[in-house]
Structure 1
Amino acid sequence: MSHHAPPGLGPAPAPEPDVSCRCKGSATLEGLVTVPVIIAFGYTAADPYAVRMVVETGITPPARWVFARDLLTEGLSRPAGLADVQVWPVPRRPRRLRAGRGTVRIRVSSPGGTTALTVQAACLQAFLDRTLERVAAGAESTEPHLDDALASWLGMERRDDGAV
């Protein structure tokens, strides 16, 4: 759930997303400064549990995060997550979110600090709906691509016979 690669290892290339979107949002850094950002979300059936998020400010290098798709889905309607990534609806009235007027807050923490992102709920919901069309909730473990995702994370090539 971190946006930094382990020491000595380069970042593994992310699988090409099957579903992606870019949402306008804002980032509040350490609770002090709020800046406009573009939040890009990506999802691939080869890694069915994960969503990749890239936050672009246009000023600093993009910050990258990987976390569970279920976390975003749950966070649309109620507070979700622990530790590094937390998601909750703002305002906390589901009726406003269903009408597409609400926002969702995503708080990401690392040793370098904490950032609170705000994104339109309608944009995030549309992205998640498209991911669920690709791989339905609960069907992730039936997808035959888990070995491909593990190989991708480890930066390994898979052979045609499925061996690594």
Structure 2
Amino acid sequence: MSTVIEQAVEARLVAAAPRMQTIPATLHYDRRDPFAVRMGFPAPATLEGVEVSWTFARDLLVQGAERAAGDGDVRVRPYGFDRTVVEFHAPEGTAIVHVRTGELRGFLHRTTVLVPLGQEHRHVDLDADLAALMRDAC
């Protein structure tokens, strides 16, 4: 069984214009980092013209699909019946995207099959992580 799940999703960038621009995005989960998910955007979809990825807690997506969650750099909340809003806050500004809730839930389901919620700690290798830290400190 693979330890990585990647899923392409269609995101709609919320902008001042009346129509929302559709941009590609990828959700990424790796069992070796069981508490985190990553959402990546390709270079053509960003203002800087470089690929951008945000890493945040998987639990934030789980909660945000049901009710508003997060008060830091990443915030997630339901929007209507079939959309979930993901807000990314940075010093340069804020990006707000809508993702289909069904796609998000499908991705989250696949991650929980790989690592059940509440069992993430069983997939963390603290000894290896500590050894890597100590190796880097020398």
TM-score normalized by structure 1?
0.70
- Note if 1:107 corresponds to 2:87: yes
Q: For residue 117 of structure 1, what is the amino acid of its counterpart? A: V
1:72 deviates by 0.3
Provide the identity percentage: 30
**Match of 2:16, as an amino acid?**
L
- Matched residue, 1:37: 23
Contact 1:20 1:42 in 2 (8 A): yes
Letter in 2 for 1:143: H
Pick one of 109, 114, 129 that aligns with 1:129.
Answer: 109
Aligned partner of 1:116 in structure 2 is 96
Normalized per residue, which structure has more helix? 2
Secondary structure of the corresponding residue to residue 68 of structure 2: coil
> Which residue among 76, 80, 85 is the counterpart of 1:87?
76
Residue identity in the other structure for 1:86: R
Count of residues paired in the alignment: 130
Look up the match of 1:138. 118
Q: Can you give the 5+ residue segments of structure 1 that lack an aligned partner in the other structure?
A: 1-15, 97-101, 158-163
Query: How far did 1:144 drift?
Result: 3.9
Aligned residues of 2:3 and 2:114 also touching (Cα < 8 A): no
**Greater relative contact order (Cα 8 A, min sep 6): structure 1 or 2?**
1
What is the letter of the counterpart of residue 111 of structure 1? P
CA distance in 1 between partners of 2:23 and 2:130 (Å) = 31
Instruction: From the superposition, tell whether residues 139 and 83 of structure 1 become closer, same or farther in structure 2 (CA, over 3 Å).
Output: same
CA contact (8 A) 1:27 1:117 kept: yes
* Structure 1, 117-126 or 49-58: larger mean CA deviation: 49-58
- Paired with 2:102 and 2:130, the residues of 1 have a C-alpha distance of 31
TM superposition outliers: structure 1 runs of 4+ over 3 Å = 144-152
TM-score (norm 2): 0.82
